[in-house]
Amino acid sequence: MLLETMVSFKDKCIEILEENRGLVILLFCLPASFFFNLFLQIRRSVYRYLFSSPENHNERVQTIQLAVEQWNKTPKMKRKLLCTSRPNWLSLSTCFFQKDKCHQVSVDLYDILEMNEKNLTIRVEPMVTVGEITKYLIPKGYTLAVTLEVADATLGGLSLAAGMTTHSHKVGLYHESVVSYELVLGNGSFVIASAEENLELYRCLPWSHGSLGFLVALTLKIVKVKPYIQMDYIPVNGMKDYCDMIRMASGDLGEENACPDYVEATIYTKNKAVVMTGNYSDYNPNLYINHCTKWYKPWFYKYTEKFLKKGKHSELIPLKDYLLRHDRSIFWVVESMLPYGNNFLFRLLFGWLLPPKPAFLKFTTTPGVRAYTFTKQVFQDIVLPIRKLEEQIIISEELFDAYPLLVYPCKVFNRGPHSGQIKPPKKEYMVEGTNYAIYNDLGIYGVPGFVKRKEKYNPVEAMRKMEKFTTEIGGFSFLYADIFMTKEELEEMFDLKLYDEVRRKYDAEGAFPHLYDKVKPEIDVFEVGRQFKID
């Protein structure tokens, strides 16, 4: 009897929790996330002020080499493959790579090493974050050539995975701004990979996800900047019209020099979008200045949406605010956790608690929560040829019906066959007279319409269809998000010929996990898909 009462009490509690998820998040999760983050930041600052020592970089690298040499001395049969000891919950990737199955080597490298203003480069250790480098560079009048919008991403992680911004239609993906990588290989030796030496290795490091060696330093391009971005918000009706405008602004029709410095579009419904173009600018007294990252300001995509009704608008945004404009609402992900989060009063009182930190969310994710978000939410960034933008939107609506959609245009270069994991763009996508094609990141985030309406929805089937479409038209998925492919399917989407050769040549085979094993979800996605079919 008592047991029954307790069970029904527990059920009741769960029901209350589920119905008032927003309240629970406000009262418990946000403050906890806030203090969790505060703790991480203090720890980081203490390190920065007390222990930062760029001059000891070489010694730190030698320690890593020693650890790898030591590992090489253990019998082959007993060895586990190598990985870094950075806890998985600190990584922004949505999957939970099981580090305990690997031999972990500590690669604690957090220092900015040297800036070269003549050559416009900066050499850093891999764990420096986007937030830290931005803080360091902007006061000096520079920023990374490809500066991502997530402050917590690491410069090393991005270079071995992928990164893209609203400036990528000019400079390409993040790895195009990497001048050289410094690595410790699986046999303990140290190499530099750049366009001048170890070219094949240099080509295969992006999208390798740490499966070729330990990264110990990298040199990145930087660019001179002005203090503001002049933003134009252009509302457009009609799918063909807004797609054409995005293509024109991103240089798909040629005339690269006429393109604005920053291009982004947010698609609110199949037929309505706001295209945003931005140029570097000095102060201009005639324009309103929007400090859009202040805690009481409306969420950026909500602010932008207003121009669908109000019409075209121009303003200045301070550069740092511009770069972090999507931070507080994590694009539009926070809305599903906190439906009233953009309410004015809420922002005024609690806006400073946002965003919930990805590291905290991952740290506290139980298998149950993971299974829930895995099947009830979509979180994907997919790189697709911009000439197929209309088809992308139609199929995304068919499979997920999740709006808004994010579009960031991006250059993809043709470096010939088997020149890295990214396949050369098809002929029909190439911009005439150049060696590149314009692609775009299609960001699909949030709760699918089918789930909201409690209709039938099989996440695995939907995702696999999206991946099939992506491969067919020559696109590729960001691998930080969950993938639903078999190894063979991954090998079809990407070109792993050179990668496999490089793995053999540089002693990564038998030392580091293969790319597929590094990025596949820890959940058996095919089993999940089958269960949905039976239900």
Ligand X SMILES: Cc1cc2nc3c(=O)[nH]c(=O)nc-3n(C[C@H](O)[C@H](O)[C@H](O)COP(=O)(O)OP(=O)(O)OC[C@H]3O[C@@H](n4cnc5c(N)ncnc54)[C@H](O)[C@@H]3O)c2cc1C
Residues forming the site for ligand X (CB under 6 A): 84, 91-93, 107, 126, 148-150, 153-154, 156-158, 160-161, 163-164, 209-210, 214-215, 330, 358, 480, 518
Out of 104, 189, 271, 486, the residue judged to bind ligand NAG by CB under 6 A? 189
**Tokens coding 488:** 């063979």
Nearer to ligand X, 210 or 298 (CB): 210
Binding partner of residue 347 among ligand X, ligand NAG, none, CB cut-off 5 to 8 Å per kind: none
Nearer to ligand X, 171 or 430 (CB): 171
Q: How far apart are CA 457 and CA 95, in angstroms?
A: 21
Residue 73 C-beta: closest distance to ligand NAG, Å: 12
The answer to the question of residue 194 lying near ligand NAG (CB under 6 A) is no
Strand order in the sheet with 476-477: 313-318, 228-237, 272-281, 262-269, 405-413, 436-446, 378-385, 476-477
The answer to the question of residue 262 lying near ligand NAG (CB under 6 A) is no
Q: Is-contact 278 322, C-beta < 8 A?
A: yes
The answer to the question of residue 177 lying near ligand NAG (CB under 6 A) is no
Nearer to ligand NAG, 48 or 310 (CB): 310
Helices (H) and strands (E) in the chain, counts: 23, 16
Residue 427 C-beta: closest distance to ligand X, Å: 27
Nearer to ligand X, 166 or 458 (CB): 166
Binding partner of residue 93 among ligand NAG, ligand X, none, CB cut-off 5 to 8 Å per kind: ligand X
Residue at shortest CB range from ligand X: 157
Nearer to ligand X, 479 or 493 (CB): 479
The answer to the question of residue 230 lying near ligand NAG (CB under 6 A) is yes
Q: Is-contact 316 283, C-beta < 8 A?
A: yes
Out of 58, 119, 284, 435, the residue judged to bind ligand NAG by CB under 6 A? 119
- Which amino acid is present at 243? C
The answer to the question of residue 284 lying near ligand NAG (CB under 6 A) is no
Nearer to ligand X, 14 or 369 (CB): 369
Residue 260 C-beta: closest distance to ligand NAG, Å: 4
Q: Look at the block and give the residue holding tokens 């993906």.
A: 173
The answer to the question of residue 195 lying near ligand NAG (CB under 6 A) is no
Spatial neighbors of 438 by CB under 8 A, at least 6 apart, are: 169, 247, 250, 251, 252, 385, 386, 387, 409, 410, 411, 412, 429, 431
Binding partner of residue 260 among ligand X, ligand NAG, none, CB cut-off 5 to 8 Å per kind: ligand NAG
Residue 160 C-beta: closest distance to ligand NAG, Å: 18
Binding partner of residue 469 among ligand NAG, ligand X, none, CB cut-off 5 to 8 Å per kind: none
Q: Where are the alpha helices (DSSP H) in 364-496?
A: 367-376, 389-399, 449-452, 459-472, 487-493
Spatial neighbors of 202 by CB under 8 A, at least 6 apart, are: 180, 181, 193, 194, 195
Residue 510 Rama label (left phi>0; alpha psi -120 to 50; beta): left
DSSP state for residue 430 in the 8-state scheme: B
Q: Residues touching ligand NAG: how many (CB under 6 A)? A: 15
DSSP letters, 138-186, are GGGTEEESS--S-TT-BHHHHHHS----TTHHHH-SGGGGEEEEEEE-T
Binding track, positions 486-525, relative to ligand NAG; x by CB under 6 A? -------------------xxx------------------
Q: How many CA atoms lie less than 13 Å away from 34 in the CB half-sphere? A: 13
Out of 156, 172, 260, 404, the residue judged to bind ligand NAG by CB under 6 A? 260
Which residue in 331, 404, 371 sits closest to 524, CA to CA?
Answer: 371
The answer to the question of residue 404 lying near ligand NAG (CB under 6 A) is no
| Segment lying near ligand NAG (by CB under 6 A), choices 50-58, 113-121, 220-228, 492-500 | 113-121
Nearer to ligand NAG, 13 or 195 (CB): 195
Binding partner of residue 258 among ligand X, ligand NAG, none, CB cut-off 5 to 8 Å per kind: ligand NAG
Spatial neighbors of 270 by CB under 8 A, at least 6 apart, are: 239, 393, 394, 397
The answer to the question of residue 279 lying near ligand NAG (CB under 6 A) is yes
Binding partner of residue 239 among ligand NAG, ligand X, none, CB cut-off 5 to 8 Å per kind: none
The answer to the question of residue 126 lying near ligand NAG (CB under 6 A) is no
Spatial neighbors of 477 by CB under 8 A, at least 6 apart, are: 380, 381, 382, 383, 467, 470, 483, 493
Q: Map residue 440 onto helix, strand or coil.
A: strand
| Segment lying near ligand NAG (by CB under 6 A), choices 1-9, 112-120, 298-306, 525-533 | 112-120
- Helical packing angle, 367-376 and 525-534, nearest 10°: 70
Q: Look at the block and give the residue holding tokens 């149950």.
A: 368
Which residue in 376, 379, 535 sits closest to 466, CA to CA?
Answer: 379
Nearer to ligand NAG, 389 or 508 (CB): 508
**What is the DSSP pairing of strand 313-318 with strand 405-413?**
unpaired
Residues of the shown chain interacting with ligand NAG in the complex, contacts defined by CB under 6 A: 116, 118-119, 185, 187, 189, 230, 232, 258, 260, 277, 279, 505-507
